[in-house]
A and B are shown apart, each in its own frame.
Chain A
Amino acid sequence: MANATRELSTPIRGAGQGAFSRLFNRQRGESGRPVWMEKPGPLMSVAKALTLLIIVIIMLFPMAYVLGISFSSQADAARGGIVLWPQNPTLDAYRAILGGGVVSRALQVSFGLTLFGTAAQMFFTATMAYGLSRMTVIGAKPVLYVVLGAMIFSPGMIPSYLLVKELGLINTYPSLIIPGLISAWNLIIVRNFFMNIPRELVDAARIDGANDAQVFTQIILPLSKAVLAVVALFYGVAIWNSFFNAILYLNDTAKWPIQLVLRQYVLQGTNLASAEGLQSGAAPPPAETIKMAIVVIATVPILVVYPFLQKYFTKGVLTGSIKG
């Protein structure tokens, strides 16, 4: 299994340099096209370009549109139609939601949950992954099967809820983190990576008198920064995006994370102005621009980490889809 991962990821990481690419370039003609490849007809080229253009528009348009509305003035948004570039750009909507109140609080909750949740998840995932990285340890195999079993069987919504309730975690923030503390998939990704670290490095440290804990913190972890970053990003994005567990476990609306607030005000159209916490006084901007500003605000953290997600995705995604 470790071999499969290595085989898969190496050529991709290596693409662009090395023998693979040299071979590739040698075969290329003037236009960068391999000499043996037929030039597509003009009709084919146009069809391809058009298809890709349409796909790009379909993917980007909703986001651009929502962004445009969120910066529009009340009057412009109410007029409707396609607003990609606001005519009278204004930050009113953002001022309204970020000036304290429901959305600000939900953002704080989500940031806190994501930060602490990801830290806890990484700690328990990395330690267990290292514990399972040496199969000569007596008893490691059955524990590995326990993890693999968790990939196939899920306990179901109702028994999980009853357990959380039984543990007295209802309406607490830990209820949003602990039931999903370790993802078996992420654990296997990290474990596979640890297993690919050359044994010689570990053995040398052992001869120098290091114990397993020292090997873990001083050799394994520093060599695994890339995979740990990928997994941390996966965990963090999942916590930021989750809303279903908050629906199950939180009854107190004051504790809601941003996704739940988003659903309440944007999808269900509850009037934000009448909601508690929004400053009264100045006339609130129209619901439309506020709604879209909430959508944008909830998306920004994802956009911030997206370049990193992208940088590591092939590695992470591929390792994840390879058997444990």
Chain B
Amino acid sequence: MSAKGTTPASIQGSGQGGTSKWQQIVQDRWMYLFMAPGLIYFLLFVYFPLAGNVIAFKNYSPFIGIQASPWVGWANFERLFTDPNFKQALVNTLQIETLQLIFAFPAPLMLALLLNSLISESVKRSIQSIVYLPYFLSWVIVIALWQQVFGGAGVINQPLRDAGLDPISIMDNPGFFKYLVVLQSMWKEIGWGTIIFLAALTKIDMQLYEAAAMDGANGRRRLLDVTLPGIRGIVILLLILRMGSMFSTGFEQYFLQRGAVGPAAAEVLDTLVYTLGFQSGQWSFGAAVGLVRGIVAAILILGANWLAKKFGEEGLL
């Protein structure tokens, strides 16, 4: 069918009008059947609730439903400018994401460079296996592990207390929380980035290094002139992904630890939506926060993607 039908038909299709187009659709009927359930899923569970964000322009009450709830125009969005909780969550999110960008983003790159400089393949592979493992653990488990080591009764504090010293507050210290979450993210996710960077590093042609060495480039020069340019594309790609999540630090890590350090330190935009909607019943205001977050995130992804293409990289989309 496709061997003799599909390709030519699609070329002629537009010019020849109805019948051949219809024939092709009939020929491809299975393809539509395959697409249909997935398409219905995306429309119903992604795009339809996207439209459900209209409640941000209403004063939604669960008892009367979306339809009957009164319109309030931009009131919920105007409240964003004055609401102290929103300001707190926004500041927290941006601070944490900036710290992530400074510390957590380059960490796997450094580790990948270090591993790449090793000669022994088996050592390289074993270390990769070890650092990649926590990536697959849930946040609940990760925080349980950290609690066990750094918590009030943990490995560090119990001996201190036994020795009659004051325990150090690590897991429940609001002032340290932002650094704590960055450290946790690094512990959990360093392996993922390392694998990607290492894969890109092994792709660099060895002859480039050889040629550079013959031209008298030392290790540092080879790093700057061969290695780093060689992985520029993947670094930019990961940076785009990071930028896209600037406004969504994630939910679980913060939700799980919010109780220990309090909302002033741990409330981020994602958890604020939950707090507003599910705990204080301010559905419409919560939806407004979520909508603004979502729109800014989309703009950031598209913007970073555009920027990457401008620099001659492949981009994401």
Q: Which residues of A contact B (CB under 8 A)?
A: 4, 8, 11-12, 15, 23-24, 27, 31-34, 36-38, 40, 48, 51-52, 55-56, 58-63, 65-66, 69, 80-82, 124-125, 127-128, 130-132, 134, 136-140, 143, 146-163, 178-179, 181-182, 184, 187, 202-203, 206-207, 211-213, 216, 237, 240-244, 248, 259, 262-263, 266-268, 291-292, 295, 298-299, 302, 306, 309-310, 313-314, 317-318, 321-324
Contacts and interface: CB of A to CB of B under 8 A. Distances in A.
A140 B317 contact: no
B45 A134 contact: no
Interface of B: 1-3, 6-7, 9-10, 13, 21, 24-25, 28, 30-39, 41-53, 55, 66, 111, 114, 117-120, 123, 127, 129-134, 136-141, 143-149, 153, 155, 158-159, 162, 187, 192, 195-196, 199, 202-203, 206-207, 209-210, 213-214, 218-219, 234, 237-238, 241, 251-252, 255-256, 259, 270, 273-274, 277-278, 283, 286-287, 290-291, 293-294, 297-298, 301-302, 314-317
8 contacts: A23-B207, A37-B209, A61-B149, A62-B145, A80-B159, A137-B28, A153-B294, A212-B28
Nearest to A241: B138
8 tightest Cβ-Cβ pairs between the two chains A and B: A128-B38, A159-B52, A131-B34, A131-B35, A212-B30, A241-B138, A36-B213, A156-B290
B114 A182 contact: no
A309 to B, nearest CB: 6
Given A58-B187, A243-B140, A51 B28 contact: no
Nearest to A151: B317
A321 B240 CA distance: 11
Nearest to A310: B129
Contacts, number: 296
B162 A80 contact: yes
A267 B31 contact: no
A134 B290 CA distance: 36
B45 A179 contact: yes
A211 B45 contact: no
Contacts of A149: 46-47
B3 A203 contact: yes
Contacts of B199: 8, 12, 314, 318
B31 A241 contact: no
